[in-house]
Structure 1
Amino acid sequence: MRFHDATVKAGQWLACELGLGTMKHARKDIYIIILARYIRLFAYGAVALILALFFQEQGFSDEQIGLFMTLTLLGDVVISLLLTLIADTLGRRRILLLGAVSMAVSGAVFATTSNYVALLLAAIVGVISPSGNEIGPFRAVEESTLAHLVAEDKRSDVYTWYVVLAVLGTSTGLAVGGIAIDHLQAIEGWTNLDAYRTIFWIYTCVGCVKGVMTLFLSQACEHQDWNVDDGKKNLVSAETEPLLHSNGGHTQDQPTSAQEETAPAQPPPKKKFWHSISKISKPSRITLIKLCSLFFLDSFGSGMVPFSLINYYLERKFELPKGKLGGIMSATWFVSTLGNIFASSLAKRLGLIQAMVFTHLPSSLFLALLPLPSSLALTICFLVGRSVLNSMDQAPRSAFLSIVVLPEERTAVMGVVNILKTLSQSCGPSVTGVLAGHGRFWVAFVVAGCLKAGYDGALLAFFGRRVEGGAREVGQDREDGE
Structure 2
Amino acid sequence: MHDPEPWRSKLYRELGLASVQSAGPAAWLIILARSLRMFAYGAVSVFIALFFSSLGFSDFKIGLFMSLTLLGDVILTLILTFAADNVGRRKTLLIGSIMMSVSGLVFWNLENYWVLLFAAVVGIISASGGDFGPFRAIEESILSQLTSGKDRTRSDVLSWYVTTASLGQAIGTEASGRIVGRLKDMDGWDEKRAYHAIFALYVVFGIVNAACVLLLSDRVEAEAIAKEQDAEEIEAEVLLSHQEGDRQNLEQDQPNPPASPPPATSTSLSTSRLAQLSPATRSVMYKLWPLLAVDTLADGMVNLSLTSYYLTSKFQIASSTLGDITSMAFFLAALSTVFAGPLANRLGLINTMVFTHIPSSAAVLLFPLPPNLVITIILFFVRMGLNNMDQAPRAAFIAAVVPASERTAVNGITSTLRTLSSTAGPLITGSLAGQDSFWIAFVTAGVLRLSYDFGLWALFVNFNLHQHE
Is this a same-fold pair by TM over 0.5? yes
Deviates more, 1:178-187 or 1:108-117: 108-117
C-alpha distance in 1 between matches for 2:281 and 2:267: 24
C-alpha distance in 1 between matches for 2:40 and 2:274: 31
| Structure 2 gap ranges (5+) | 242-251, 254-264
Deviation at 1:238, TM superposition (A): 3.2
Q: 1:429 aligns with which of 426, 437, 443?
A: 426
Alignment partner of 1:216 is 2:215: yes
| Structure 1 gap ranges (5+) | 226-234, 257-267
Q: What RMSD, in angstroms, separates the aligned Cα atoms of the two structures?
A: 2.5
Q: 1:414 aligns with which of 411, 414, 425?
A: 411
Deviation at 1:377, TM superposition (A): 1.1
Percent same amino acid among aligned pairs?
A: 44
2:107 alignment counterpart? 110
1:339 alignment counterpart? 336
2:375 alignment counterpart? 378
1:36 alignment counterpart? 33
Amino acid paired to 2:222: H
Q: Could you say if the C-alpha distance between residues 57 and 246 of structure 1 is closer, same or farther in structure 2, counting changes exceeding 3 Å?
A: farther
Amino acid paired to 2:366: L
1:237 alignment counterpart? 227
C-alpha distance in 1 between matches for 2:410 and 2:87: 17
Alignment of 1:27-66 (within 5 A): 27-66=24-63
Q: Is the 8 A contact 2:82 2:269 kept in 1?
A: no
1:180 alignment counterpart? 179
Alignment of 1:298-447 (within 5 A): 298-447=295-444
Deviation at 1:287, TM superposition (A): 0.8
Deviation at 1:324, TM superposition (A): 0.8
Amino acid paired to 1:298: D
Q: Could you say if the C-alpha distance between residues 422 and 241 of structure 1 is closer, same or farther in structure 2, counting changes exceeding 3 Å?
A: farther
Amino acid paired to 2:196: R
Amino acid paired to 2:94: L
1:393-440 CA deviation, whole Å, 9 max, x = no partner?
Answer: 111101000010111000000110111000001000000000000001
Q: Is the 8 A contact 2:66 2:128 kept in 1?
A: no
Q: Is the 8 A contact 2:41 2:126 kept in 1?
A: yes
Alignment partner of 1:150 is 2:147: yes
Q: Is the 8 A contact 2:48 2:127 kept in 1?
A: yes
Alignment partner of 1:23 is 2:20: yes
Amino acid paired to 2:80: L
Deviation at 1:180, TM superposition (A): 0.2
Q: Could you say if the C-alpha distance between residues 414 and 245 of structure 1 is closer, same or farther in structure 2, counting changes exceeding 3 Å?
A: farther
Amino acid paired to 1:171: A
1:231 alignment counterpart? none
1:64-108 CA deviation, whole Å, 9 max, x = no partner?
Answer: 100111111111111110111110011000111111100100001
Deviation at 1:179, TM superposition (A): 0.2
1:206 alignment counterpart? 205
Amino acid paired to 1:44: Y
Deviation at 1:25, TM superposition (A): 2.5
Deviation at 1:242, TM superposition (A): 6.1
Q: Could you say if the C-alpha distance between residues 38 and 280 of structure 1 is closer, same or farther in structure 2, counting changes exceeding 3 Å?
A: same
1:202-230 CA deviation, whole Å, 9 max, x = no partner?
Answer: 211111111122111111111114xxxxx
Q: 1:292 aligns with which of 286, 289, 293?
A: 289
Q: Is the 8 A contact 2:298 2:446 kept in 1?
A: yes
Alignment partner of 1:124 is 2:121: yes
Q: Is the 8 A contact 2:15 2:341 kept in 1?
A: yes
Deviation at 1:144, TM superposition (A): 0.4
C-alpha distance in 2 between matches for 1:370 and 1:277: 38
C-alpha distance in 2 between matches for 1:245 and 1:431: 57
Deviation at 1:125, TM superposition (A): 2.5
C-alpha distance in 1 between matches for 2:121 and 2:184: 28
Q: Could you say if the C-alpha distance between residues 151 and 249 of structure 1 is closer, same or farther in structure 2, counting changes exceeding 3 Å?
A: farther
Amino acid paired to 2:139: E
Amino acid paired to 1:212: A
- What secondary structure is seen at the aligned counterpart in 2 of 1:135? coil
Amino acid paired to 2:138: V
Q: Is the 8 A contact 2:89 2:220 kept in 1?
A: yes
Q: 1:14 aligns with which of 11, 16, 29?
A: 11
Q: 2:276 aligns with which of 255, 274, 279?
A: 279
Amino acid paired to 1:200: F
Amino acid paired to 2:142: T
Q: Could you say if the C-alpha distance between residues 111 and 86 of structure 1 is closer, same or farther in structure 2, counting changes exceeding 3 Å?
A: same
C-alpha distance in 2 between matches for 1:250 and 1:416: 39
C-alpha distance in 1 between matches for 2:98 and 2:90: 12
2:165 alignment counterpart? 166
Amino acid paired to 2:45: A
Q: Is the 8 A contact 1:85 1:273 kept in 2?
A: no
1:280-323 CA deviation, whole Å, 9 max, x = no partner?
Answer: 10110111111001111101100101111111111111111111
Amino acid paired to 2:40: A
- What secondary structure is seen at the aligned counterpart in 2 of 1:25? helix
C-alpha distance in 2 between matches for 1:272 and 1:195: 44
Deviation at 1:247, TM superposition (A): 11
Aligned pairs, number: 446
TM (norm. structure 2) is 0.90
Q: Could you say if the C-alpha distance between residues 281 and 243 of structure 1 is closer, same or farther in structure 2, counting changes exceeding 3 Å?
A: farther
- What secondary structure is seen at the aligned counterpart in 2 of 1:439? coil
C-alpha distance in 2 between matches for 1:367 and 1:436: 17
Deviation at 1:240, TM superposition (A): 7.5
Q: Could you say if the C-alpha distance between residues 349 and 149 of structure 1 is closer, same or farther in structure 2, counting changes exceeding 3 Å?
A: same
C-alpha distance in 1 between matches for 2:466 and 2:238: 19
Deviation at 1:140, TM superposition (A): 0.5
1:95 alignment counterpart? 92
C-alpha distance in 1 between matches for 2:223 and 2:279: 24
Q: Is the 8 A contact 1:45 1:174 kept in 2?
A: yes
C-alpha distance in 1 between matches for 2:299 and 2:76: 20
1:97-138 CA deviation, whole Å, 9 max, x = no partner?
Answer: 111100100001111111222111211232211221211111
TM (norm. structure 1) is 0.88
Deviation at 1:201, TM superposition (A): 1.2
2:447 alignment counterpart? 450
C-alpha distance in 1 between matches for 2:232 and 2:159: 24
2:188 alignment counterpart? 189
C-alpha distance in 2 between matches for 1:289 and 1:243: 31
C-alpha distance in 2 between matches for 1:81 and 1:388: 30
C-alpha distance in 2 between matches for 1:166 and 1:416: 22
Q: Is the 8 A contact 2:86 2:266 kept in 1?
A: no
Q: Is the 8 A contact 2:70 2:422 kept in 1?
A: yes
C-alpha distance in 1 between matches for 2:305 and 2:239: 52
Amino acid paired to 2:453: D
C-alpha distance in 2 between matches for 1:223 and 1:29: 14
